[in-house]
A and B are shown apart, each in its own frame.
Chain A
């Protein structure tokens, strides 16, 4: 009598279903793509204030043209921000940016003082401050209107 041997057949494995896993992966992919559209990533513009640098100072009508760059920001009648650099009026921001870059190339150590009118939008103030940082001035100060106090900010480029 012959006992039949058991055939070790290579049967295809039917217990590992990949289809649901692929569906989930595609669903997640579509979700993250849709969720990320339209989102703006926020960044940080730092201002390193010098500790205890609030000092009283006499507001001067005619700033020293050799010692400081006094930059005024104010609103004109058309509610548009205009600029004045050491008595030189500038309307376009691109012109102001060019001037700041030229000044920084000539004398980067000259302090820049931003005197901002209360009605100037923060967007314009940030743009001007950003231009000062781009020009790589050593120090940028903010003039505040409170008992003629001046808040100072100093960047140490040697760090």
Chain B
């Protein structure tokens, strides 16, 4: 009598193709979501050029970023603000966080100085010592 010879399959079959598909979908989702979040925060301004920039060493506890667009408008958090409101926000922020409070100015390089001067003056008056300008390196 002949005993049939069976091939015994060793190991466990593991199909990773669905796993790859799921990972791919997740990555695409996070990339698209990050893109939309970033496009809301940053207005399109042509920053001035400078070479003496400093690396960020310590994270400020409270930071206010003021964008001054080419048409002279003030924007905070993707919302246009009146100059008086920007002034109030600087003062309020300093009262809320007396220590490690930072003001950043993202101004278009064509904006006249009279648009930026009030912000600098307010910062000096309320005692904001950390005032930084966003620039790009040439």
Contacts and interface: CB of A to CB of B under 8 A. Distances in A.
For this complex, into which size category does the number of interface residues on chain B fall?
35 or more
B129 A44 contact: no
A105 interface: no
Contact of A46 (B11, B54, B115): B54
Interface in B8-23: 8, 10-11, 13-17, 20-21, 23
Interface residues of A, number: 55
A21 interface: yes
A24 interface: yes
A103 interface: no
B124 A45 contact: no
Secondary structure dominating the interface of A: mixed
A48 B50 contact: no
B76 interface: no
A54 interface: yes
B13 to A, nearest CB: 4
A28 B68 CA distance: 35
B53 A118 contact: no
A54 B120 contact: no
B127 interface: yes
Nearest to A13: B11
A134 B58 CA distance: 23
B91 interface: no
A28 B26 CA distance: 12
B48 interface: yes
A111 interface: no
A91 interface: no
A133 B49 contact: no
A48 B113 contact: no
B54 A42 contact: no
Given A15-B15, A20-B17, A24-B24, A50 B129 contact: yes
Interface of B: 1, 3, 5-8, 10-11, 13-17, 20-21, 23-24, 27, 31, 47-54, 56, 68, 104, 106-117, 120-121, 123-125, 127-137
Interface of A: 1, 3-4, 6, 8-9, 11, 13, 15-17, 20-21, 24, 27-28, 31, 40-54, 73, 116-123, 125-127, 129-130, 133-134, 142, 144-146, 149, 151-152
26 contacts: A3-B3, A4-B3, A6-B6, A8-B10, A15-B13, A15-B14, A15-B15, A16-B16, A20-B17, A43-B53, A43-B135, A45-B50, A46-B54, A46-B133, A48-B131, A54-B124, A116-B113, A118-B114, A120-B113, A122-B48, A122-B109, A130-B51, A130-B135, A144-B117, A151-B120, A152-B124
